[in-house]
Structure formats: C-alpha cells, structure tokens
Amino acid sequence: MEIQLSDHFTYKKLMHFTLPSVAMMIFTSVYGVVDGFFVSNFAGKTAFAAINLIFPILMILSTVGFMFGTGGTAIVAKTFGEGDSKKANRYFSLFVYVAFALGVLFAVLGIIFIRPISEALGASGQLFDDCVVYGIVNLAALPFYVLQLMFQSFFVTAEKPKLGLVVTVASGVTNMVLDAVLVILLPQEHKLLGAGIATAASQVVGGILPIIYFSRKNDSILQLGKTKFDGKAITKAATNGSSEFMSNVSMNLVGILYNLQLMEYAGEDGVAAYGVMLYVSWIFASAFMGYSVGIAPVFGYNYGAKNSKELKGLLKKSLIITGVVGALMIIIGEVFALPMSSFFVGYDAELTKLTVSGFKIFALSFLFMGYAIFSSGFFTALSDGLTSALISFLRTLVFQVAAILLLPIWWGINGIWSSIIVAEFMAAFLGAVFIIIKKKRYGY
C-alpha cells in the first residue's frame, strides 16, 4: 500500500504508515539492550554498571541528531506541503551536513574530556576504566550515530518508512552478531571493549547506508545535493527540534542524577537495577517516539496545506491510540517484571529482587509517558518548537529533578523509582493544557 502525506488517514492507514517508524525506534532500542544483556551476563555487573553510568553522556552528545531530524523534517514537510520541492531538498541537504559536522566536533570534545567526566560521575577503580574504554570506542562512531538518529525522521518524510526500518535492522543485526562474537569469545578483560566495538560498528552502518541512498538518484521525494548556508533555516530547525534536543539532554542529565542518588542509596547494585529499568523503558518509550516521528510529517504537511479537518481527525485518533498502548504497557510491565529483570541480572538473586520491586513501581509511568511524548512531538510537527521545548524541558528536567531530589527523603529508594511517575503525570497534564489552549491557533 503506497501512502502519501496528502492522503486521508483512517486508523488502518495511520497504523500502516507509522508502524515502520515504531518498529524502527523499537529495534534501535532493542539492539541497544543487547549490549546490556551480553555485558551483564558475560562481563559482570561492574561492566554493566559502567555502561549505564557513561551512556547518558554519549546520548547527550548524539542528541543533535534528534534535534535536526525532528526539527528539520517539520520544515521540509511543510515546504513540500507548500509546493516547493527544490527548496525542501536544499533544506534537507543543509541539515544533514550541519548535523554531521556537529557530530565530529562533539566526538572530539568527548574523547578529550572522557576521563574527567567519568571521575565526576563517581567512577573509580575498575568502574572508571570500564567507563573510559566503552566511552572512547563509542565516541569514535558518534558522527555516524548522529546521522542514524537524524535519518530515522527523514526516511518518514521521504515517504520511505519501510526503507528506514531496513537500515535500522541492518544496523541492529550488525550489533547483535558482533556482540555475540566479541563479548562471548574475547578474554574477560576485553569483553566490554568487544561490546563497544559492536555498538560503534552498528552506528557506522546506520549512518552510512542512508547517505549512500540519498546521495544517489532514488525514488523518494528527498535527495542529497548542493545547498548553501542558511543560518535562518538552521536556527529554525534547531528551534523546532529543541524540544527533542531538550528532552534527550534533560532525560540523560536526569539519568546521571538517578545514578548519583542510587550510588548513595544502593551502590553499584542500584545503578545496575536502574539500568535494567532504563533498557525496558527505552523499548516502551521508543514505541511512543516512533509513533510521534512517523506521524509528524503528516501533521506538518496538513498544517502547511491548511487542512484543519484532517488535523483534527489525526489528533483524535492519536490520543486514543496513545492511551490504549500506554495501558497495555502497564499491564506488560507488572506481569513480566520478574522475567524481564532475570533476563539481565538473574545471576544475582539480591540484585534481581531489587530490580523487580523497583520495576513494578516504575512501570506505572508508561501511560503518562505516552501522552507527554506525543504532545511534545505534536507541537514540533506544527513548527511550534517553543511549546514543544517547554513541555520537554519541564517533563525531563524540572519535574523529574524535583521528584528525584525530594521523594527519596521520605520514601528512600522507592522514592527514586516513584519519581518518574510524578514527572510523567505532570508533563502529560501540561501537554493536555497546551493542546486545549492552542486549538484555535492551529485549527485542529
């Protein structure tokens, strides 16, 4: 079924169009989880804790890819909706080149400062060494990871979401195969290095394949080519994508705060338990993010075409889908807390017990998480980067920081697990308020 941005979207067509993006985001998360599985079960919980300690830093540096992906697609899709395909492709090329250049810059800076950063996170001894090794290897591939994250959005705008899924699968399979080979077969002291190489290689694959496709003649509506520097367009894309940038940066800053609090309340075991929850949460959250990425060009196109009737229908359907999926995720989280925890840390009974008890609390956040992610992505698609950024900023930084600092005072470690519920509820409520008060402005 060939679906165009200008089509009328029924539930069936909407799910058909967004499913590749959802699958793409989920698969991206899953192959990241594979690292955790192999490292935890074959290299041990210290190496596992090291990945979870340094990973937020790597994600902060790579999140510029999300920013230009989501922010750039809003501009490109709107420009197509206005009927100027040549200008849209100039914008597309500009955003790709700028994002890659920033990826190179951040990779260099990250490698230079990886040691003091690891020390600041509280790592010492073997934990410190593991953070540095895993960090340097992944920073070397950072520019390609930036492109991979960026093209997840642009494949949808190019009306080729299935091709985006193929690229993601190729990247994921690369990671899984190399993990299985390197982590299992290398000596104990090099297993974490093997996991880092597997991840870096997969990111190179995920970044290069789209470049090859879009640089040549293809049957999509996008093609890389000549462009010219346009500071206004770059600023607009960065502003539009600032919510996703802020969301990812803030989320990882909060992750660092979680780790610092957990080191105080539960030590390495707390960091490892939180790592398990994050891996599962990434998979669930990626479903919501995939839907937001998949539907964003449709919102952007219809906004550019001033089709208010279609906008209203898309919003209603999206809210219903988000609610149903969120409720199902809570049920899955509660029922499968033990097997999901055992998958990662089943070799340690006390660590498994800690992880299960925390996850049963943590899982209640999934319903509110879906609405918070959708509302932020919705305003990004309408090129209202300020509103989207405000939702993301409050959701991932202000609400969570306040909760993570205050709730443990009264509830101890259970307060740490509960903080995500409070933050996501507040963000979902704020998103609902903005959707209501901006209804007349955008005509949905």
pLDDT tens, the chain, 444 aa long:
566 677 777 888 888 888 878 887 787 777 667 777 888 888 888 888 888 888 888 988 998 888 888 888 888 888 887 778 888 889 999 999 999 999 999 999 999 999 999 988 878 888 899 999 999 999 999 999 999 989 988 887 787 878 888 888 898 889 889 988 998 888 888 899 998 999 999 999 999 999 999 988 888 888 888 888 888 888 888 887 776 677 677 777 777 888 778 777 777 777 778 878 878 887 888 889 888 888 888 887 888 778 888 888 889 999 999 999 999 999 998 998 898 888 888 888 888 888 888 888 988 899 899 999 999 888 888 878 788 878 877 887 788 888 888 888 888 888 888 888 988 999 999 999 999 998 888 777
- 305 exposed, middle or buried (CB, 10 Å; 0-12, 13-18, 19+)? middle
**What DSSP assignment string belongs to 227-288?**
----HHHHHHHHHHTHHHHHHHHHHHHHHHHHHHHHHHHTHHHHHHHHHHHHHHHHHHHHHH
pLDDT at 243 (0 to 100): 66
pLDDT at 142 (0 to 100): 95
pLDDT at 8 (0 to 100): 77
Closest-CA residue to 216 (of 228, 227, 224, 208):
224
Q: How far apart are the first and last CA of the chain?
A: 27
pLDDT in tens, 148-196: 989 988 887 787 878 888 888 898 889 889 988 998 888 888 899 998 9
Token couple for 45: 């919980």
User: Which residues, including other chains, have CB under 8 Å from residue 169's CB and lie 6 or more apart?
Assistant: 27
CA pair distance 179, 38, nearest whole angstrom: 7
User: Which residues, including other chains, have CB under 8 Å from residue 50's CB and lie 6 or more apart?
Assistant: 123, 127, 130, 131, 134, 192
Question: In this structure, is the dihedral angle defined by the CA atoms of residues 266, 271, 273 and 277, taken in order, positive or negative?
Answer: positive
Task: Specify whether the CB–CB gap between 407 and 415 falls below 8 A.
Answer: yes
CA pair distance 423, 402, nearest whole angstrom: 9
User: Which residues, including other chains, have CB under 8 Å from residue 206's CB and lie 6 or more apart?
Assistant: 144, 145, 147, 148, 151, 167, 168, 170, 171
CA pair distance 190, 176, nearest whole angstrom: 17
Task: Specify whether the CB–CB gap between 50 and 130 falls below 8 A.
Answer: yes
pLDDT at 284 (0 to 100): 85
pTM score:
0.70
- The single-letter code of the amino acid at 266 is A
Largest interatomic CA distance in the chain: 63
Task: Specify whether the CB–CB gap between 300 and 383 falls below 8 A.
Answer: yes
Backbone angles phi, psi at 256, to 5 degrees: -65, -45
Closest-CA residue to 439 (of 267, 311, 349):
311
Locate all alpha helices (DSSP H) within 141-190, ordered by sequence.
142-157, 161-178, 184-185
* Angle ∠(227,208,161) on CA atoms, nearest 5: 85
pLDDT at 32 (0 to 100): 67
- Residue found by looking up tokens 């340690």 in the block: 348
Locate all alpha helices (DSSP H) within 363-412, ordered by sequence.
366-381, 385-393, 400-411
* Angle ∠(297,301,306) on CA atoms, nearest 5: 145
User: Does residue 3 sit in helix, strand or coil?
Assistant: coil
Task: Specify whether the CB–CB gap between 131 and 50 falls below 8 A.
Answer: yes
Backbone angles phi, psi at 438, to 5 degrees: -105, 10
pLDDT at 244 (0 to 100): 67
